[in-house]
Amino acid sequence: MNSRLKVFGVIALLGFVAGVIAQLTAAVVIPWLVTVLPLLGGATNYLISGFAGACLTVALVSVWAYMTGKKEHY
């Protein structure tokens, strides 16, 4: 039971960090990129959000895989 609580706690912490990064991306990075890349027009918001979501997902899955991987010592 104790290990399950640790897993839930780590997942909650990772979700919190992902939310903070997503908010920072939405509030700061996207408006800056819209001014830098005006040629993409309205699609810029969607492209940047999709890219940020993909990066966050890869990072979170990588952390999860590292933490739950088998600890084999050679």
Domain count, the chain: 1
Q: Does residue 25 contact residue 49 with C-beta atoms inside 8 Å?
A: yes
**Using CB atoms within 10 A of its CB, is residue 56 exposed (0-12), middle (13-18) or buried (19+)?**
middle
- Domain membership of residue 49 (yes or no) is yes
Q: What is the mean pLDDT of residues 32-55?
A: 75
- Domain membership of residue 27 (yes or no) is no
Query: Is the model's pLDDT at 41 over the cut of 70?
Result: no
With cut-offs at 50, 70 and 90, classify the pLDDT of residue 40. Answer: low
Q: Provide the mean pLDDT of the chain.
A: 77
Domain that holds residue 50: 40-67
- Domain membership of residue 51 (yes or no) is yes
With cut-offs at 50, 70 and 90, classify the pLDDT of residue 16. Answer: confident
Query: Is the model's pLDDT at 62 over the cut of 80?
Result: yes
Q: How far is CA 60 from CA 30, 43, 51, 55, in A?
A: 21, 26, 14, 9
pLDDT, tens digit, 9 for 90 and up, residues 17-34: 878 887 887 788 777 877
